[in-house]
Chain A
């Protein structure tokens, strides 16, 4: 097996050379799944990338990365969509629904990504994030607020003391069509302003052209620029088009050091879908089984109702498993879903629906 063979010869040529001072990847934390468990041929990547605390330099060439990604098992479109649709028929009622709603609220990355964003708009969103329902203190706060880099400063000050992190999109979001220096500057500026999480976009053009090494190197470079900030890698699955591509891009991003893989920018249709998220959840599950490192998943865009949100939670529960059912490992990139969650929450508690004017619009 070529993968095994190559793993015996570390330290060959790097994928490409523009990035220097590349940090070694962290070893998988103790206590996660034993990396050896499924190594019997399950995931070839076990010997590569950030697995085993080996630095990415063990990736020998662009050709090998390409061969690895193309060697992943395919995704059958009909089967994947059928599975997602079937899980969507799960009936979540009463106590399960109440627990799911609170969990979903705590996983929301409350987002505003508009050209018309102002400090006032961002401050309002931050207030909402800390107290989603001013009438009910038992409502959990959301996971993070997600803004453009130039609004990070405002958001950080507004959220001071709430424990809510600020996530910033970066790397010339949403298209990613900018010189590498600009993308890195974008990232560093956001981190310097206090962003705890960076949502970068991959170069879909390079990915579709088969230049996986370029995509890989960019993620590594941005990860480096992130410092301690967590890196979410946006695949923009609506532009990758096939589930095979989604799986390949997921593995590519994870091996390049992503802490999270995220479906979409929200600017391209389709944004997050259940089958796409299913494929990504399978990827993080397999990746952890192979390497011991857990990577989070964030569907973003198009999640508008409580029903939608609960479908995603069921998908997580029955695909990656309960280990991912925390805000640390699963996020919902959305904004309008929050009020629907609040409305359903109050309906469950009181038995009656409150009108939309009983929930704040920020």
Chain B
């Protein structure tokens, strides 16, 4: 029998999207002085709202508000008091989780299953976790009484809009800093809803400021002289520009950039679970994941078998309406990103790799890309070297563990890697040799606030999450 799942859309009634949004500065929504821009639903290209654009004067206003709040309120406040606000925010995120999840899926295009089961619960977990550190900073290993840095300028990407906000804001606030955060221009809505949560939590004005805009707003923010620390998550190219801007200024900087992670499947792996891990590694969040397992390195002796199973599994992936509770793969976030994925996929074909996608019908409106694998990929192909940031997997093979490690490390990036084997000693042997900030064994794309995350080489520097994540926000 053919078992068709009827549409099971999550209700949009829970969110109230306003026609226009201002900047959140000093505890209030204010006008921006730049030309407003539009945020679009990538699933159907409908306009969601007009968003204020912050120019230099707006950024300056936000930084000054943050400075005042740091000097007068947040910096001097005892850690145990700051913790109360953070716990309150965490609880409000939980209370409003459905609203946040639906809005995230509408603005970003990710499936509701992921925003509901992954993004929003992790956001709450991040605030709970760092709330716990706020009054224990003297025990974090950075001296008996480490001091906050001051005002943090934070620029975050569009792939996990709310989660990246939490990764940035929670440790900053726990350590006693105030922040000016710029969400990505294609996904500002949940950050603005978070601003409302800050008000609901009665967070003192100026502690969290949110300025919306595109690249020039971000440039104005990171270059502002009133900023003591810059945290950026995004492309390696922009990360380089920021590093140049900050060179010699003495301001602290952490960068979390791109990746081209190897997911290594040894012949003795638990194959069904490895296939799940491959799927989660590359198709989670449409592959818009800096640590995505975008290079599958599979041992030649099981390559045919793994591919056979992978293709059968991919044929069950459900692509479509992000708000449908049964959707596995949602929309590509923007036309620009879709164009990049298409360009690199075409390059893959031109360079001689074999392209395959399961039969799947894509909606006619919106930005969509079918889950795709390339086999017969060589290290020299662009699709093996460049970050595609989409649901495209490059499959390479190896013969020996040494070769696996060599190929895995042969990339300018070094953010994450995966190892699949039932043999514990092989996990340890491989992990010790991989130059990647995060190595997952027999799982992939797992995140926890207690676990530090960050890259080697062109994937950036500094660690976010865990005790290590406090360091960037403390003058230790």
- A interface residues (Cβ-Cβ under 8 A, vs B): 38, 40-42, 73-76, 78-80, 82-83, 89-97, 99-100, 103, 282, 313-314, 317-318, 322, 325-326
Shortest A40–chain B CB gap in Å is 5
Task: Give every chain B residue within 8 A of A326 (Cβ-Cβ).
Answer: 1
Are A322 and B3 touching (Cβ within 8 A)?
Answer: yes
User: Which residues of B in the span 252-272 have a Cβ within 8 Å of any Cβ on A?
Assistant: 268-272
Task: Give every chain B residue within 8 A of A89 (Cβ-Cβ).
Answer: 113, 117, 325
Task: Give every chain B residue within 8 A of A317 (Cβ-Cβ).
Answer: 3
A76 to B440, CA, bound (A): 14
With contacts A73-B270, A76-B273 known, what are 10 further pairs, Cβ within 8 A? A40-B305, A41-B304, A41-B305, A42-B308, A73-B269, A75-B273, A91-B325, A96-B3, A282-B272, A322-B1
Task: Give every chain A residue within 8 A of B316 (Cβ-Cβ).
Answer: 318
Are B1 and A76 touching (Cβ within 8 A)?
Answer: no
A185 to B117, CA, bound (A): 53
Asked if B56 is at the interface of the complex by the 8 Å CB criterion, the answer is: no
Shortest B194–chain A CB gap in Å is 25
Task: Give every chain A residue within 8 A of B113 (Cβ-Cβ).
Answer: 89
Task: Give every chain A residue within 8 A of B3 (Cβ-Cβ).
Answer: 96, 99-100, 103, 313-314, 317, 322, 325
Are B5 and A80 touching (Cβ within 8 A)?
Answer: no
Are B305 and A42 touching (Cβ within 8 A)?
Answer: yes
A78-B4 in contact given A40-B305, A83-B273 (Cβ < 8 Å):
no
Are A78 and B443 touching (Cβ within 8 A)?
Answer: yes
- Taking a contact as CB atoms closer than 8 A, the residue among B6, B269, B302, B308 that contacts A92 in the complex is B6
Are B8 and A79 touching (Cβ within 8 A)?
Answer: no
Task: Give every chain A residue within 8 A of B422 (Cβ-Cβ).
Answer: 74, 76
- Taking a contact as CB atoms closer than 8 A, the residue among A41, A78, A90, A103 that contacts B5 in the complex is A90
A314 to B326, CA, bound (A): 11
Asked if B475 is at the interface of the complex by the 8 Å CB criterion, the answer is: no
Task: Give every chain B residue within 8 A of A99 (Cβ-Cβ).
Answer: 1, 3-4
Q: Classify the secondary structure of A's interface with B.
A: helix
A282 to B309, CA, bound (A): 11
Are A41 and B8 touching (Cβ within 8 A)?
Answer: no
Are A96 and B6 touching (Cβ within 8 A)?
Answer: yes
Asked if B2 is at the interface of the complex by the 8 Å CB criterion, the answer is: yes
- Taking a contact as CB atoms closer than 8 A, the residue among A79, A93, A96, A318 that contacts B442 in the complex is A79
A73 to B272, CA, bound (A): 8
Shortest A328–chain B CB gap in Å is 11
Shortest B93–chain A CB gap in Å is 20
Asked if B277 is at the interface of the complex by the 8 Å CB criterion, the answer is: yes
Task: Name, among B2, B6, B305, B422, the residue most crowded by chain A CB atoms within 10 Å (CB to CB).
Answer: B6
Shortest B278–chain A CB gap in Å is 11
Are A83 and B8 touching (Cβ within 8 A)?
Answer: no
A38-B273 in contact given A76-B442, A91-B325, A92-B6 (Cβ < 8 Å):
no
A95 to B274, CA, bound (A): 34
A38-B6 in contact given A79-B442, A91-B326 (Cβ < 8 Å):
no
A42 to B7, CA, bound (A): 36
Between A and B, 27 residue pairs with Cβ closer than 8 Å are A38-B308, A42-B305, A42-B308, A73-B270, A73-B272, A74-B268, A74-B269, A76-B273, A76-B274, A78-B443, A79-B270, A79-B443, A80-B272, A80-B273, A82-B276, A83-B272, A83-B273, A89-B117, A89-B325, A92-B6, A94-B6, A95-B4, A95-B6, A96-B4, A96-B6, A99-B1, A322-B2
Asked if B11 is at the interface of the complex by the 8 Å CB criterion, the answer is: no
A66 to B297, CA, bound (A): 31
Task: Give every chain A residue within 8 A of B7 (Cβ-Cβ).
Answer: 93
Task: Give every chain B residue within 8 A of A92 (Cβ-Cβ).
Answer: 5-6, 8
Shortest A52–chain B CB gap in Å is 20
